Each structure stands twice: as structure tokens, then as C-alpha cells.
Structure 1
């Protein structure tokens, strides 16, 4: 596996070196390099020099095309603005959405699956928690708005039970999903619950369903 990873990286580096340049092409290469670096190294290893090395370009081009690191982060945010639409389909998956609880259960399970499959988004979530800045906040706001928009489009005439603070409950559910996924990456468990095997995650999914149903019926 390690040798395969090295080979894949060498092929990717060679592909970057042979890719036609020009502003549009170079911007794409830089953006792809930045996203790849962020997914692998996290925000602590995310810097102009490291991105330039990975992209195979002069770091001055990052300043010229993106205005520096903040501009590049904004570009990543714009590129990821469609993440919810790309990863959380607007279909019922064969499930009859008869209640708001049905809908929220569907969203919770889809979000869990999408986040587990996306190392870059996991890194961005870590970044949001670890650093308070306007740029990082915009990344978080864009994803949260997309999730809310998905819920509103899918909801139709469904409504939550009276007396339930929907925003607070849904925030707790989403936060729990994010923390469990990040804990799986860092330690493989949380609060004594293993987060490694398929069976482990089936238990998490069952628990999510019970929590959602306990609130929404």
C-alpha cells in the first residue's frame, strides 16, 4: 500500500509538471495542489511555499492569481460550495418521507456517509474548530447554509412537532456527526465507542436514528 501511494504521488507530480500552463491552467493546478495539501497535512502544514512546491510553480504566481493565502482559501471555499449538492443527493433513496423525522434521519445518515468519505472536508471542519478567522468562518457558513437549503427544498409540507427547537436540535445532530467522524480519524474511538469497523458505524447509525426519532417521532 505504501509503495502504491508513492507511485500514485509520483504520477500525480509528473502529471502536474507536464500539464499545459497559462493562467487558467496554472490556477487549476494551484487550486488542486492546495486542496490536496489541506486534505493530507491539515491547516498546520498549509502554506504558500508548500503549495507552490506541490503545484510545481513559483510562489509569486499564488500571490498574482489569488492575492495570497487568504485569497486561495476563498477560492477553495467557492470550489467546495457545491459540496452538499455533490455529496448529498436530493432523493429519498427509496425511503418514504412521511414525517420531518424521516427527512432528518435521511439527512443525518447521508451527511455521516459523505463526511466519512471526504478527507478534505474533514480537514476543513478541524480548521473551523481550531481557528477563528473571517475566512474560515465563511467556509463553515457556506456549508451550513447549503445543508439548510437542502433541508428546506426536501421538506415540502413536512413540519417538526410543535415545541421542538429545530435549529438547536439539528445543530446538535450535525455537531455529533462531525465530532464522531473526526474522532474516528484521530483515535478510532470516542467515549468508549469504537469507530473503525463497519459494525461500529452501523451502531452509530442506529444511535443517530434513535436520537432523531426520540425528538421528531
Structure 2
């Protein structure tokens, strides 16, 4: 029976399907072996495709991994949605609600996504041009939030960028520490629904306190 697709090394060469299999294989390898298992041979074997197709379709192994991260990373994958919500929020709801919701969702997403936990470990464990590029892309998205919040904090001593940096990096550390060692942080177990609820409430409290201080032009400390 003819499929309409060429065959490469005995396999049907359907480029969109092959690309999808390779991208998905990256996630599978990360789950099984961590980021150090991301070799071209391992990914091609997991996807059951010819290894040269990685370079043919993605330019390089890094190109394939970058494609995977761009689909999976919370901030990068949500860029268009976040931008759309920013525009809508200015008309329908306080910007503070968008910020709280976005950070709470980052916590939920990062806690439940093992692949991203491994990728953040890679990003903070060793120098990598690929991870540096991805980090810069993530940073550029954050600038959209800061541009919208800048006016709110004019004339106050509140540096919302610094507060956001602590919240985002704190989420990464809490999840990595809790998921790896199942240990408490300040008496809170984030591996329980109760602990996760407390962290989500703390995110709201901190963002709200920062906005109130900015509005009233009062110091946080």
C-alpha cells in the first residue's frame, strides 16, 4: 500500500511526524536519564528514527533541544498568551491579579513537570550556550511585565524586579529541593496540597504587599 511518503532506512519519512517523534523523545530521555542523557544517538533511538534526521530537520542537536524547550518552558511557551492577557487585564482587571496568577501557575507547572525541573538543573549546574540563550529569551518575556508595572512603582523605593527575581528563583529552589529530598522548607511540605496552598497564598501576599507599598509610596521594610 502506498503512503505517499518516502522511506529512509526502512522507515516511512513523514517529516512532521518524525519531527514530533524527535521532540517528544527529548522529553522522554530527560525523564528517564536527566539532561545528561540528551545525546543524538539516545534521542534517535528513542524516537526510532535515523540519527542524521536530527541535523537535517533541526540543524543540530542543540536546535532540537531548543525546539523542545520553546514548547515546554512555562514562560516561553506562554508568551503569546501572557501578552494577550496583559492587554485584556488593563481593561478588565487589576494588573496585580495577572502577576499573582502567573506566578502561582509557574509554581504549579514547575512542580508537576519533571522535564523542566531537569532543564533548570542543567541551566544552573554548568555553562551552556544553549541554556544561556533560553534564559535570555525567558528574561525578555519578563520585561513585558516590568514595563507594565514600572509606572505603579514610580516615586517609591519598591524594586519590583528584585521581588519578582526572588519569587521566581524561590519557586525553582523550593520545587527542586522538595522534589529531590522530600524535605521541609521552614516547616512547609510542598509535596502536600496544604503546603502548595500555603506557597500560593504567600505569592499573593508578597505581590500584594509590594503593590500596596508602591501605591502608598511607603517602604516595604
Instruction: Give me the TM-score of the superposition, normalised by structure 2.
Output: 0.72
Q: How does 1:43-62 map to 2 (within 5 A)?
A: 43-62=35-54
Instruction: Give me the TM-score of the superposition, normalised by structure 1.
Output: 0.73
Q: Is the 8 A contact 1:48 1:59 kept in 2?
A: yes
Pairwise CA distance, 1:208: 2.4
- Of 152, 159, 174, which aligns to 1:159? 152
Cα 1:21/1:84, change in 2 over 3 Å: same
**What secondary structure sits across from 1:159 in the alignment?**
helix
Q: Is the 8 A contact 1:34 1:51 kept in 2?
A: yes
Aligned length: 193
Q: Is the 8 A contact 1:101 1:216 kept in 2?
A: yes
Q: Distance in 1 between matches of 2:70 and 2:197?
A: 33
Partner of 2:117: 122
Q: Is the 8 A contact 1:116 1:181 kept in 2?
A: yes
- Of 23, 27, 31, which aligns to 2:15? 23
Q: Is the 8 A contact 2:70 2:77 kept in 1?
A: no
Structure number with higher relative contact order (C-alpha < 8 Å, ≥ 6 residues apart)? 1
Partner of 2:137: 142
Q: Distance in 2 between matches of 1:114 and 1:80?
A: 10
Q: Distance in 2 between matches of 1:63 and 1:194?
A: 44
Pairwise CA distance, 1:27: 1.9
Pairwise CA distance, 1:20: 5.1
Measured on the aligned residues, the alpha-carbon RMSD in Å equals: 3.0
Partner of 1:67: 59
Larger radius of gyration between Structure 1 and Structure 2: 2
**Residue ranges of structure 2 left out of the alignment (5+ in a row):** 1-10, 213-221
Q: How does 1:1-217 map to 2 (within 5 A)?
A: 21-80=13-72, 82-85=76-79, 90=85, 96-97=93-94, 101-149=96-144, 151=145, 155=148, 159-160=152-153, 162-191=156-185, 192-217=187-212
Q: Is the 8 A contact 1:87 1:114 kept in 2?
A: no
Q: Is the 8 A contact 1:101 1:160 kept in 2?
A: no
**Residue ranges of structure 1 left out of the alignment (5+ in a row):** 1-18
Q: Distance in 2 between matches of 1:53 and 1:64?
A: 16
Q: Is the 8 A contact 1:52 1:59 kept in 2?
A: yes
